[in-house]
Structure 1
Amino acid sequence: MTRQTGATVAALILVGAAAVAEQQDPLLQVTGRIDGGTVSLDRTALEALPVTTLETTTVVTDGTHRFTGFLMRDLLDRLGAGGDHVSALALNDYAVEIPMADFYDYDVVVAYRMDGKALHRADKGPLWIVYPRDDHAVLQDIRYDYRWVWQLYQLDVR
C-alpha cells in the first residue's frame, strides 16, 4: 500500500469516526511519525479495520484464549507510519517501546475482544496488544511478555 493510499484510507476511517464522535470517546490516540500528525480513533473506527482472530495463551491468564481485533501493522500501514519503534502507553501509565519489526515479523493483534466478549478497563481493556506467543518459540520470552500492553490508549511512532 502506498503512503497516499494509506492516508486516504486513514482519512476515511477518521470521517467515519467523526460521524459518531458524539456517541463514542476515542479509545486510541496515535502520534508521531504518521500521516496527518495526531489521530484519535474510537471503537467504530477501530472495528472498521480488517478483523483478525488469534488463539494463544498468556502469562497473565489461565488457558488458551481467543483474541479478536486488528493487526497492528494494518493500522500502522493505513496511517502511513514510519520509524523504527512504537512507544505504547497504557491507562495505568505503563509504557514500553516496541520495535516496528515486531509488527511485520509476527501477527501482533490489538485485541478489543477476548473469547467473544468486549474487553473492559477492569479486565485488560479496552485494547490489549497480544503476541502470537504459541506460534513462535522465540515469543515465549520475558522480553516479549513486557510488550503485551493491556489498557492500551496511546501509540507514539518514532
Structure 2
Amino acid sequence: MFQSNSLAEIGPASGRPMHIRLLSKFFGLFAVVVSAALPAMALDAPKGPVVLTVSAPVLDHPNVGATAQFDLQMLEALAGRSAKVRTPWTSGEVEFSGPYLRSVLEAAGARGAKLRITALNDYYADVPMEDVAQLDTILATRLHGKTMSVREKGPLFLIYPFDLDPNLYNEKYFSRSVWQIVKIEVTD
C-alpha cells in the first residue's frame, strides 16, 4: 500500500489525536529504514542437480564454497518471463521461458562490470552488465514449456528480448546468446 509522508495527512482533519498520528508515521518510516538495512536472504543450497554455477569477486550470497550454485527449481523460482521469438538457431517462432538474468545475479548477490558466460563445450561470450540491467535478457530453462536437453541447446540458453526490440536481432547479440550454459563468471 502506498503511504505518503506528507505532513498534511497528520493534521487535525484526519480524525485521530496528533501524537498518535505522528507515532504512526514514525513507526511506518522506521520499518522502511530497518527493512532496507537488513541483509538479503541467503541463497539455499541446491537440492537437485546443479545446472549453473555463478562466481564473482563480490558474491554476497554464496551457497557452495565461494560460488552460488543453482538447480533448475531454484532458477525457475526467480522472476522471469516467457518470450515468443525468432532466432537464427530455431525454426520459426518459438517460446522460451526462464528467469531474467538479472534475477539470477541478484539472487547470487553478484556484482561487477561484465559477465563471462560459458557453455558445456567451453565456448564463452563476454556480456556487458548493461545488457543485464537494461535489457530483459532471460536465462531460458524451457522451450515451449518443456525443459531443454543438451541436444536442444539446454539446460540453459541466454535469450535476448528479440521480441521486444527488433534492433537486437543482429550479430552483436547473436554472439552473446550462449546456449548449453553451465557457468557465469562476473568480473570487474
Structure-2-length-normalised TM-score: 0.73
1:118 matched to which residue of 2?
Answer: 147
Instruction: Work out whether 1:100 is the aligned partner of 2:124.
Output: no
Q: Write out the 4+ residue segments of structure 1 that deviate beyond 2 Å after TM superposition.
A: 1-6
CA distance 1:154–1:2, shift in 2 (3 Å): farther
Identify which of 65, 77, 95 aligns with 1:48: 77
The Cα shift of 1:137 comes to: 3.1
SS of structure 1 residue aligned to 2:141: strand
Instruction: Count matched residues.
Output: 148
The Cα shift of 1:52 comes to: 1.5
Q: Percent identity?
A: 32
Structure (1 or 2) with the larger CA radius of gyration? 2
CA distance 1:39–1:2, shift in 2 (3 Å): farther
Instruction: Work out whether 1:31 is the aligned partner of 2:61.
Output: no
* Corresponding letter in the other structure for 1:40: Q
Structure-1-length-normalised TM-score: 0.86
Contact 1:86 1:156 in 2 (8 A): yes
Q: Whole-Å Cα distance in 2 between the matches of residues 86 and 96 of structure 1? A: 8
Q: Whole-Å Cα distance in 1 between the matches of residues 38 and 174 of structure 2? A: 34
CA distance 1:136–1:51, shift in 2 (3 Å): closer
Q: Whole-Å Cα distance in 1 between the matches of residues 147 and 108 of structure 2? A: 25
Give the CA RMSD over aligned residues: 1.9
Gaps of 5+ in 1: none
